[in-house]
Amino acid sequence: MEVHELEALARDVAGGRVAPDELVRRVQAGATTDLGYACVDMQRGLRTGVSEVIYGAGKTAGQIAGIVGAMREGGQERVLITRLDEAKARGLADLGCPFEYVEAARCGVVGGLPEPDGNGEVLVLTAGTSDLPVAEEAALTARFLGNRVNAVHDVGVAGIHRLLSHAEEISRAQVIIAVAGMEGALPSVVGGLARCPVIAVPTSVGYGANFEGVTALLAMLNSCASGVSVVNIDNGFGAGFQASLINHLPGREA
């Protein structure tokens, strides 16, 4: 059950269409659903404003389908499935799960995307084309959570003029997600140009001394620019989620 569903139920109670004890019963009954292999949190949307998201890696198609089914039975209209590979997506489709596969982001979306209701625009900047899968995950997550997203790709510091040509987009953004591998320099540069929070995402893209993203991660943690926060290596979902929280803060209208 999400916040808007609880509000509708409360209005029914106030209007005499539903008894108060029925409201209590529905809320209590929907707390969790134990599937044996997963205990689905049915009230996360009420507590945090965002319903549970399914992490697809390590789960079978059957398990994912079971979790989606439990969520939908519990009244969750939209479900995001992250880290969903093509083979697993085909298996999920064969099981009749009603979802759309977004290959670029390696995600599945049940129930479609909502209309944006955030304060402003989330800008996703990608250092190089090799960083696209992580950037696409961040962008789709932000859109799934009700944000208007603009994505600009291949603007890394190896050709800084490419980044500077997007100064207008940087200046109007409410939140910026900067995705980079190699030495991870992009967020520091963006942090010196932007007036909004910058979320840095290190990727595992790079040669040997990149250490599968550790070099980029440490560089971003040591950024000399203020206003830069850092999520884990390849964590596009975490960046998109954090950007959405910032973009929905009261009093931050663009």
User: What is the rounded average pLDDT for all residues in the chain?
Assistant: 90
Percent of the chain with pLDDT over 90: 71
> What is the structure's pLDDT at 7?
74
Residue 183 — very low, low, confident or very high, per pLDDT cuts 50/70/90?
very high
In this predicted structure, the answer to whether residue 50 has a pLDDT above a threshold of 80 is yes
Give the residue, 47 or 109, on which the prediction is more confident. Answer: 109
CA-to-CA dists, residue 31 to 1, 42, 185, 234, angstroms: 9, 5, 44, 31
State pLDDT tens for residues 1-46: 555 666 777 888 888 888 887 766 666 555 778 788 888 887 787 7
pLDDT tier at 93, thresholds 50, 70, 90: very high
Q: Calculate mean pLDDT across residues 121-125.
A: 98
**Percent residues over pLDDT 70 in the chain:** 93
pLDDT of residue 253: 62
Confidence bin at 73 (pLDDT 50/70/90) = confident
Range 133-147 average pLDDT = 97
CATH of 121-247, one of 3.30.1230.10, 3.40.50.1970, 3.20.20.60, 2.60.40.10: 3.40.50.1970
Q: Domain-by-domain residue ranges, the chain?
A: 3-110, 121-247
79: pLDDT strictly greater than 90: yes
The arithmetic mean of pLDDT across residues 194-211, rounded, is 95
- Over range 105-125, report the average pLDDT: 95
The tens digit of pLDDT for each residue in 216-242 reads 999 999 998 989 999 999 999 999 999
Task: Please tell me the predicted confidence (pLDDT) of residue 128.
Answer: 94
- Quick check: 105 pLDDT over 90? yes
198-202: strand order across its sheet: 148-152, 121-126, 175-180, 198-202, 228-230
Task: Give the model confidence (pLDDT) of 151-165 as tens digits.
Answer: 999 999 989 999 999
What's the confidence (pLDDT) of residue 30? 58
pTM for the model stands at: 0.86
